[in-house]
């Protein structure tokens, strides 16, 4: 999983276009991109789309429901779960308890649809509220369904009253840098994917490349997208290079040949056990792609 593309759930045209975007995951949105008057129509369009595309290998179809406190989440789930989405994207998650609560709801829907319990996956956006940002460490053991954590800046800025999320140089200000950092740490603690937030200036390819590169450097393994044009850049940056895979495999082989070693020398460079763990993760991710 490298790219996750948002598509409004009330637009059949955009949903069909999303199928050809080469995104790894299509995030069918019932929340922010759908007005209150269009919620019911979006649920029906989304359910029909899921049903007609069920079982296809790519992209994987997730649905972003409305948050648990909105009063709309149960209606969202009732509408889409019979059409068997691969997963649910939970916005405005305040803690691991919200993921556990969603998982319990999914247990019921899976039973009603004859699905095995636990097959529907969950990704959570964890920094759209102040308490959510401060609760990033609560996701270990929240649910076996959880496969990824992501973050968002715009909703958080509205909650705290910030007038901008970036400074004059285009860098995130301190609060949003913190939200970004705790997402990486929270995902690592829960042993799930760390997914970087959207880059809203979708015509600025240079800026997108820079942000993807920095995200991959810091530990993110995927990124949200708001436009199909962003998907190729995201896929390219978050796909491990042949050179990186080869180096990782050499590290793994060297430690396998010397299982009692704490440090290994390769081409004049020293690698220890943390390097081995990072190499194993990279190879595993490359194989999954």
Nearest Cα residue to 172 out of 221, 226, 218, 225: 218
- What integer pLDDT is reported at residue 94 of this predicted model? 98
- What integer pLDDT is reported at residue 124 of this predicted model? 98
Contact 123, 148 (CB under 8 A): yes
Nearest Cα residue to 81 out of 97, 65, 101, 59: 65
* Alpha helices (H) in 170-204, listed in sequence order: 174-190
Q: Does the global pTM surpass 0.85?
A: yes
Nearest Cα residue to 126 out of 156, 158, 160, 162: 156
- What integer pLDDT is reported at residue 253 of this predicted model? 86
**Catalytic (active site) residue 141:** no
Residue spans of the chain under pLDDT 70: none
- What integer pLDDT is reported at residue 264 of this predicted model? 83
Contact 52, 34 (CB under 8 A): no
- What integer pLDDT is reported at residue 204 of this predicted model? 94
What count of other Cβ atoms lies within 10 Å of the Cβ of residue 154? Answer: 15
Alpha-carbon dihedral of residues 108, 93, 56, 79, nearest 10 degrees? 50
Nearest Cα residue to 200 out of 173, 229, 226: 226
- What integer pLDDT is reported at residue 120 of this predicted model? 98
Angle at 190 between CA 287 and CA 241, to 5 degrees: 25
């Amino acid at each position: 999983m490298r790219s996750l593309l948002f598509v409004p759930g009330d637009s059949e045209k955009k949903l069909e276009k999303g199928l050809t975007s080469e995104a790894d995951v299509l995030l069918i949105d019932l929340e922010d991109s759908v007005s209150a008057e269009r919620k019911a129509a979006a649920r029906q369009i989304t359910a029909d789309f899921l049903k007609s595309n069920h079982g296809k290998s790519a992209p994987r179809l997730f649905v972003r429901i409305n948050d648990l406190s909105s009063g709309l989440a149960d209606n969202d789930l009732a509408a889409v779960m019979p059409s068997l989405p691969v997963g649910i994207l939970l916005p405005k998650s305040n803690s691991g308890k919200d993921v556990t609560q969603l998982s319990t709801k999914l247990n019921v829907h899976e039973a009603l649809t004859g699905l095995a319990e636990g097959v529907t996956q969950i990704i959570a956006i964890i920094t759209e509220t102040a308490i959510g940002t401060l609760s990033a460490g609560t996701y270990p053991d929240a649910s076996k369904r959880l496969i990824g954590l992501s973050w968002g800046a715009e909703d958080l800025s509205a909650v705290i009253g910030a007038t901008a999320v970036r400074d004059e140089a285009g860098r995130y200000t301190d609060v949003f840098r913190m939200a970004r950092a705790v997402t990486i740490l929270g995902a690592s603690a829960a042993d799930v994917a760390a997914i970087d937030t959207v880059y809203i200036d979708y015509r600025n390819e240079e800026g997108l490349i820079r942000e993807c590169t920095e995200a991959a450097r810091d530990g993110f393994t995927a990124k949200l997208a708001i436009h199909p044009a962003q998907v190729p850049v995201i896929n390219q940056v978050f796909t491990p290079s042949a050179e990186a895979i080869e180096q990782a495999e050499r590290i793994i082989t060297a430690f396998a040949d010397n299982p009692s070693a704490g440090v290994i020398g390769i081409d004049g460079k020293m690698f220890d056990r943390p390097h081995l763990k990072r190499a194993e993760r990279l190879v595993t991710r490359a194989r999954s792609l």
